[in-house]
Amino acid sequence: MKDNQEEQNWDLIIKGHSSLFDLNFSDLWRYRDLLVMFVKRDFVSFYKQTVLGPLWFFIQPIFTTIVFSFVFGNLAGISTDGLPSYLFYLTGITSWAYFSDCLTKTSTVFRDNANIFGKVYFPRLIMPLSIVVSNLVRFGVQLLLMICMMAYFYIFPIAGTSFHITLGLFLFPILVLLMALLGLGLGLIITAMTTKYRDLTFLVTFGVQLLMYGTTVIYPLSYAREKGYGNIAELNPMTGIIEAFRYAFLGKGEFTAASLGYSTVVTLIILFFGVIIFNKTEKNFVDTI
């Protein structure tokens, strides 16, 4: 019997094989309907059974802006580069909120969707991509709020402050893309690591809050340079993005091609390693999660 089995010639042999760089991006396009479904699910489930619902899109940035203006503007006396303090902080909060939401929600993809991943096949990258896309809705609403506030301060200017829209506004789609990709890349790396090191889950939210203070959300880069911390702040890739964002809409900010180029290169490197690590981990994460 054993000899007969050894002499058998099989027509088809099925075995698992994939390289580290086998990313199957074509599957993402084939499953685009699933991406749309996940985006709708994220938006509906997040505000389900809430009294105010999508109004939280407005409430959160408004109250955060008021607190920042009072604490950092009035009490601490931190410069806003001659911009109305509410506009200065709102632009930083709007851009930072989109990046941080992409990062924090992507960082728990494996843990939050372990049951789905273990039952049916679909490109796992669809899930973090749906988070990035669904967060665009919140970003768009907060951007509308920022534009309305710009219109208000244009009609009713504050003495000693001024702002104007620049041609840097044409870079807006690139800036949004960089924020999304940077948050996605970091989130993919963290979610892959949390399959073995659960402690990272507790550190993400705390770490993102600390990282915000290392970015020019609550102070301009010129102020950091004045205090001797400009080089440290510029190491954060989000600094160049936020400065460019603020320059585009308000005409103030330390925007240079070099700083934006640095942010772009760092973002692409982080995204590359994030996708590779995610691709490697998703093949066997069900056994460790």
The pLDDT, as a whole number, for residue 1 is: 47
The tens place of each residue's pLDDT in the chain, 289 residues long, gives: 445 545 556 555 545 445 555 556 667 777 778 788 888 777 766 666 555 566 777 788 888 889 998 888 888 888 888 899 999 999 999 999 999 999 988 888 877 776 776 666 777 788 888 889 888 888 998 899 999 999 999 999 888 888 899 998 999 999 999 999 999 999 988 888 877 777 677 788 888 888 888 899 999 988 888 888 888 888 999 999 999 999 999 998 888 899 999 999 999 999 999 988 888 777 665 555 5
- 195 with 286: CB under 8 angstroms? no
Identity of residue 202: F
The pLDDT, as a whole number, for residue 95 is: 93
The pLDDT, as a whole number, for residue 114 is: 67
Nearest to 90 by CA among 227, 246, 257: 246
- b or e along 157-190 (b: 16 or more beta carbons within 10 Å of the residue's beta carbon)? eeeebebeebebeebeeebbebbbbbbbbbbbbb
The DSSP code sequence of 22-66 is ---HHHHHHTHHHHHHHHHHHHHHHTTT-SSGGGHHHHHHHHHHH
For the chain, what are the domain ranges?
Answer: 39-287
Nearest to 146 by CA among 64, 67, 209, 53: 64
For the whole prediction, is pTM greater than 0.75?
yes
